[in-house]
């Protein structure tokens, strides 16, 4: 078991009072497993992703990563965890504007001391970024920037890739291509993936789909409604 989320609760204070965002989440994720996380807006998907990424702290419960308890991590351990164990692909890309595409791609890998020039070059080639490596993020389109963000995450070879609506800013064709790459490259690199998405079409391409409703995980079938009868088989790639 790579990740074991155990009865995690998370709430935020608001002007109207305490808002319970996650209410007793339990989720297991195996190594190399690719899982889609779906749910309505405001259901707590991004919050769960932030907790898994070590960006935020939960109120109760625990998250075990390779049997290490995130609850016991201090600021320094959280930073180490983000640097070496997980990679996050955000909707807003979060590239470093003043670094070139090449420098952005290898940055995380070098931070994690896992830089491998051949692997980085392979990623650049397969993501179609060869012509842009000397450019800066602001000179790229949204789709190109998303591919750079993906390359940066995969170049560091984290055990777990967390993707928060990675195609939210992209058109359908580009989005499909990005998902193809995530699935293909994660398989080749042997990584686990948890991807937040609103798109049924994309979700069904993952090994498994889990659905969040008002802070609680429901069964996988409910992710698409009873009548949809989606193909829930663990169809990969």
Partner 1 sequence: MFALSLKALLSHWRRHPGQLLTLVLGLGLATGLWCGVQAINAEARASYDRADETLARSSRATIVAKDGGMISTRTFVALQRFGWRTSPQLEGTLRVENTRFRVVGIEPLTAPPGLLNGLIAPAANEGAQTDGGEQTLGIDTFLNPPGVLIVHPDSAAVLASQTDLPPQRLSTTVSPGVIVTDISVAQDLLKKPDSMNVLVVRGDQIDTRPPLETVADNLELVPPERSSDISELTGAFHLNLTAFGFLSFAVGLFIVRGAVGLAFEQRRTMVRSLRLLGVPNTTLMLAIGLELLVLATVAGALGILLGYAIAAVLLPDVAATLRGLYGAQVAGSLELRWQWWASGMAIALAGTALAAAGSLWQTSRLSILDGGRARAWAMASGSTQRWQLAAAMILGVLGALLLIVGEGLVVGFIILGALLLSAALVLPFVLATALRVCAGFSRSVVVQWFWADTRQQVPGLSLALMALLLALAANIGVSTMVGSFRDTFTGWLDQRLSAQLYVTASTQAQAADMRSYLTDRADAVLPIWNEEARLAGQKGQIFGVSDHPIYRENWPLLSRTEDAWDRVVAGKGVLINEQLHRRTDLQLGDTLALPQGSTLPVVAIYSDYGNPLAQAMVSVNLLEDWFPDLERKRFAVVLPDDQAAALADDLRERYDLAGRQVVQQNVVKAFSIRVFEQTFAVTDALNVLTLGIAAFAIFTSLVTIANMRQPQLAPVWAMGVTRRKLAAMEIARAVLLALFTAFLALPVGLALAWLLLAVVNVAAFGWRLPMAWFPVEWLRLGGIALVAAALAALLPALRLARTPPARLVQVFTHER
State the residues that interact with partner 1 by CB under 8 A. Answer: 50, 53, 55-56, 75-76, 79-84, 88, 90, 92, 94-99, 103, 107-108, 110-112, 136, 138, 141-142
Our CB check for partner 1 shows the closer of 79 and 235 to be 79
CA distance 146 to 114: 22
CA distances for 209 relative to 36, 39, 206, angstroms: 5, 10, 7
In angstroms, the CA 215 to CA 224 distance is: 17
Which residues touch 111 (CB under 8 Å, ≥6 apart)?
83, 156
33 or 164, CB closer to partner 1? 164
* Shortest reach from residue 78's CB to partner 1, in Å: 8
Q: Where are the beta strands (DSSP E) in 91-174?
A: 160-164
* CA-based nearest residue to 145, from 105, 198, 182, 183: 105
**Inter-axis angle of helices 101-111 and 142-155, to 10 degrees?**
30
Minimal distance, residue 67 CB to partner 1, in Å:
20
Q: Which two tokens stand for residue 201?
A: 């079409």
CB nearer to partner 1: pick between 75 and 229: 75
Measured from the CB atom, the residue of 113 and 229 that comes closer to partner 1 is 113
Minimum distance from residue 158 beta carbon to partner 1 (Å): 10
Residues shown for the chain: 237
Nearer to partner 1, 89 or 209 (CB): 89
CB of 210 to partner 1, least distance (A): 22
CB atoms within 10 A of CB 127: 21
Q: What's the closest the beta carbon of residue 154 comes to partner 1, in angstroms?
A: 13
Q: Collapsing DSSP states into helix, strand and coil, what is residue 119?
A: helix
Closest contact distance (angstroms) between CB of 25 and partner 1 is 18
The partner residues of 209 in beta bridges, in order of sequence, read 36
Can you tell me which residue has the tokens 């993501």? 127
Rank residues 99 and 204 by Cβ distance to partner 1 and give the closer one. 99
Nearer to partner 1, 12 or 219 (CB): 12
Min separation Cβ 15 and partner 1, Å: 18
């Amino acid at each position: 078991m790579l990740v074991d989320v155990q009865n995690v609760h998370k709430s935020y204070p608001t002007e109207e009072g305490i808002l319970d965002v996650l209410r007793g989440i339990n989720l297991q994720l195996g190594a190399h497993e690719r899982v889609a996380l779906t749910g309505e807006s405001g259901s707590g998907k991004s919050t769960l992703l932030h907790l898994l990424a070590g960006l935020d702290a939960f109120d109760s419960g625990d998250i075990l990563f390779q049997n290490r308890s995130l609850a016991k991590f201090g600021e320094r351990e959280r930073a180490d965890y983000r640097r070496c164990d997980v990679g996050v692909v955000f909707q807003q890309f979060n590239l470093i504007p003043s670094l070139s595409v090449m420098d952005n791609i290898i940055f995380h890998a070098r931070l994690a001391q896992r830089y491998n020039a051949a692997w980085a070059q392979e990623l650049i080639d397969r993501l179609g970024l060869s012509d842009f490596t000397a450019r800066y993020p602001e000179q790229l389109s949204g789709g190109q920037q998303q591919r750079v963000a993906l390359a940066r995450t995969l170049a560091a070879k984290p055990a777990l890739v967390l993707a928060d609506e990675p195609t939210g800013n992209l058109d359908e064709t580009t989005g499909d291509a990005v998902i193809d790459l995530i699935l293909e490259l994660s398989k080749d690199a042997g990584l686990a993936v948890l991807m937040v998405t609103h798109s049924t079409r994309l979700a069904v391409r993952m090994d498994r789909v889990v659905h969040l409703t008002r802070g609680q995980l429901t069964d996988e079938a409910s992710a698409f409604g009873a009548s949809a009868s989606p193909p829930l088989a663990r169809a990969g790639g």
